[in-house]
Amino acid sequence: MPKRINIYLIISMVFLMFLIGCSNNGSKEVNLNQLTRVDVEVVKADESYEEAVMITDVESLEVVRKSFEHIKWEPNVEPKMARKENVKATLFFEYDENMPERLFTYQIWFNQSNDTATIISNNEKEGFGTLDKENAQILEKILLNQ
């Protein structure tokens, strides 16, 4: 009988660890205060990407943070864009120093007709976003003038 209890105990422990592991998938919420780095890839005329430029300085990261705070997100929209994005930006967020950084990729179109920006995020909680004229111009300056 004690052997049977040990087997049940072991199976229960394994099942419990499995449940805990599955329920802790990590946050998909973006906390802009935890932004540590931005990799920027500008799209060239032939629609290939230039070599990635890394933004790590505190001032530039703060500008990116403030601009991203103004994006109006529509999570369940599947947009079709007529042209390739102007910039692909990968934002790195450090949620726990003992865990790897979380990365989210943003395709960004700077609209010359009205000076706004259109953004598509790979984060399902964000999806499709738009950025007003003032913040789009600030973000464009920081991402394209590195």
Distance of alpha carbon 45 from alpha carbon 84, whole angstroms: 10
The answer to the question of residue 1 being in a domain is: no
Q: Which residues are paired to 117 by β-bridges? A: 110, 131
Residue with tokens 């994005």: 85
Q: Say if 38 falls within a structural domain.
A: yes
Q: Is residue 47 part of a domain?
A: yes
Q: Collapsing DSSP states into helix, strand and coil, what is residue 33?
A: helix
Between CA 49 and CA 113 the distance in angstroms is: 23
Q: How confident is the model at residue 19 (pLDDT cuts 50, 70, 90)?
A: very low
pLDDT digits (tens, 9 = 90+) for 97-126: 888 889 999 999 999 899 999 999 999 899
- Give the structural domain span for 39: 27-144
Helix axes 133-144, 58-68, angle to 10 degrees: 150
- pTM for the model stands at 0.76
Answer yes or no: is 130 within a domain: yes
- CATH label of the domain that carries residue 54: 2.60.40.4400
- The residue ranking higher by pLDDT, 49 or 30, is 49
Q: How many C-alpha atoms does 36 have within 13 Å on its Cβ side?
A: 11
Spatial contact of 137 and 123, defined as CB atoms under 8 Å apart: no
Mean pLDDT, residues 14-21 taken together: 50
Domain count, the chain: 1
The answer as to whether 16 is a domain residue is: no
